[in-house]
Amino acid sequence: MTSERHILVVAHTGRSDSMDAAIEVCRQLIAGGITPVLTTDEYLDIIAEAPDLADIARLGETVQIGDLELVIVLGGDGTILRAAELARGCSAPLLGVNLGHVGFLAESERENLTETIARGLAKDYLVEERMTLSVRVKLDDEVVYETWALNEATVEKASRERMLEVVIEVDQRPLSSFGCDGVVMSTPTGSTAYSFSAGGPIVWPSLDAILLVPLSAHALFARPLVVGPDSALAVELLHRTQGTGILWCDGRRSFDLPAGARVVVRRSPVPVRLARLSQGPFTDRLVNKFNLPVTGWRGPVGEEARGT
């Protein structure tokens, strides 16, 4: 690590609002004596709009991933997932500014951009570690694919008209088999994403656990499951499955699954680090992001208000 400070800026440069925000952030970082860093593709997009930024560092060329102090992410949750992929394995936390719709992983909104960057420059943030999943695909006891996920690993049918026939396993013991559209295996962070849409429970991110949520299962016993962080889940495509399946991790990385393929998910030893500007309760984040109705709540009184 050099004495020079490097901050990676990740943005959805295909959108004009995100492009404008990225240019603004790069200029604010330079004014603060920090070296902004961009991926090569985003560098080319940004200097086409702002030629004065041509001297910005590029990730993997003039600056390596281990040189980064912080990753500033401008966009929605999809952009944050992409940034987590770029920064995988390094100690730099992700500081998200929401330019999308819900932006559940983001820490601030567009109108607070200048203040957010100033706090990043001052290292005025806390770091929260989020559990991730290690994902393996095995075929005839051979590992044919390995990856990871922050939100979820999903086994899905590859053809719309076909159904997957799967058997579910927990800690190397069979639990149930059924036909379905797919199976979601999620972290607590991902419990507000695909798992939530499929009817799974919301799990507070302070709890380490792994969720399993069947998708449109044809079975009496196909309820969402929550297991401990040391458990291993497996989904095996039975040979009677007609057609193939596909594995998706965070909606970004995919692998085709033939009949007989086995997807094994367990806790990864490498977390994702998020920069937090406040320690507000997760309940408030749920209410704000989902616009939940809480009118009429008067709050605790007396001894309960003091937590006794």
d(CA 64, CA 92): 12
| Contact yes or no for 202/191 (Cβ under 8 A) | yes
d(CA 9, CA 11): 7
What three-state secondary structure class fits 31? Answer: helix
Cross-strand pairs, 169 = 174, 234
Tokens of 126: 């806390």
Q: What does the CA dihedral 24, 85, 199, 155 come to, rounded to 10 degrees?
A: 150
Return phi, psi of residue 68, to 5°. Answer: -80, 140
The DSSP output letter for 18 is: H
Helix (H) or strand (E) holding 206: none
d(CA 142, CA 145): 9
The DSSP output letter for 254 is: E
Out of 45, 67, 77, 250, the active site residue is 77
Mark whether 67 is an active-site residue.
no
| Contact yes or no for 28/53 (Cβ under 8 A) | no
What three-state secondary structure class fits 271? Answer: coil
d(CA 181, CA 219): 12
Neighbours of 211 (CB within 10 A): 24
So which residues are the catalytic ones? 77
